[in-house]
Amino acid sequence: MSTNKAVRILFVCHGNICRSPMAEYIMKDLAAKAGRQDSFTIESAAVSSEEEGNPIYPPARRCLSLHGIPFDSSKRARRMTPADYDRFDLVICMDSSNLRWMRRIIGDDPCGKVRLLMGYTGSGRDVADPWYTGDFETTFQDILKGCSALLGSLTER
């Protein structure tokens, strides 16, 4: 990644109401605290259209607030488009199911932009979906670890 332009990162999960917006705002907060907010453009999207137009899920919002992570309350879920592959330098998925769904949207990954978030921590495991587990804290901690490792990998260049 070039250091003279903002690195464009898209976080992706199933519905864009829990994990990917949490990752978007955690990463923005980490970048700001590192004084690197101008080094990144960070957004999030879904592989599904099920939640399109809906706000961040209230328990996810509460979890972000509990940890002092600022977020845009007007954010609405959107579905990823094929054009996003060209717009972003990195497309970071929360789980392997997201990877499969994404392939239906963008096709192949010839530029090697698509990655699992937890891969940055040395683990290939998924970030559990709190919509199903109800455990937003564990999801938050996983995303925080993944985003911290991602930020480290991008700022050491």
| Catalytic residue annotation | 13, 19, 129
User: Contact 80/47 with Cβ under 8 angstroms?
Assistant: yes
Identify the CA nearest to 137 among candidates 122, 147, 127.
127
Continuous segment of H or E residues that includes residue 129: none
**Distance, CA of 51 to chain centre:** 16
Instruction: Tell me the C-alpha to C-alpha distance, in Å, between residue 14 and each of 31, 36, 64, 73.
Output: 24, 28, 19, 19
Beta bridge partners of 46: 13, 79
- Find all residues with CB under 8 Å of 104, minimum gap 6, and list them: 47
| d(C-alpha 116, C-alpha 46), whole Å | 14
At position 150, the amino acid (one-letter code) is L
